[in-house]
Amino acid sequence: MAEEKAKAADKRLAIIKIYLKDFSFESPLSPSVFRADEWKPQMNLNLRSVHAKVDNDYHEVILTITIEAKDKESDKTLFLVELHQAGLFEISGYSGEELAALTGSFCPNILFPYAREAVASAIQRGGFPEFVLQPINFDALFMQQVQAQKLEAEKQAAAQAEKH
């Protein structure tokens, strides 16, 4: 019991800085896109996060969100937004699995509200109707990724066993 309390006391997680690392907004059909009678685009959302150890206990997590709105009939891009919302986190005292969960789920959850606001603001400033990016369950996404990695490892192990 005392050991567990000591280990918990050695754990540290702190947000050092949240920042916009890269941002792009394109509206290639402006101003003609605003003359359309109806606004019903096909929306595509791509979401991913990456983690890199900066030094010792500092880790950079980057949440990338790409949103593309295309005209349903012509398949032409109406707007394209790509955002790299980043954070520098001090993380220490956690096991490898705990660190993976923090950088794969907890940290993206921290970054998401900042990314959502930046994306919504850019789209609206681009002259388009309000865009609300729905909440994302990063815990579920992280668990899916872990399961996919386990399945892939099992497949590779089975393939190796067949070769011998």
Q: Where are the chain's structural domains? A: 2-135
Per the model's pLDDT, the better-predicted residue between 7 and 161 turns out to be 161
> If you ran DSSP here, which 8-state letter would residue 76 be given?
-
What pLDDT, in 10s, does the model give residues 43-69?
999 999 999 999 989 999 999 999 999
pTM of the model: 0.83
Per the model's pLDDT, the better-predicted residue between 159 and 62 turns out to be 62
Pick the CATH number of 2-135 from 3.30.70.20, 3.40.630.10, 3.10.420.10, 3.40.50.10490: 3.10.420.10
Average pLDDT over the chain reads 90
Rounded-to-integer distance, Cα 75 and Cα 70, Å = 5
- Position 154 scores a pLDDT of 79
Please enumerate in sequence order all residues whose Cβ is within 8 A of that of 41, keeping only pairs 6 or more positions apart, or say none. 69, 70, 71, 72, 78
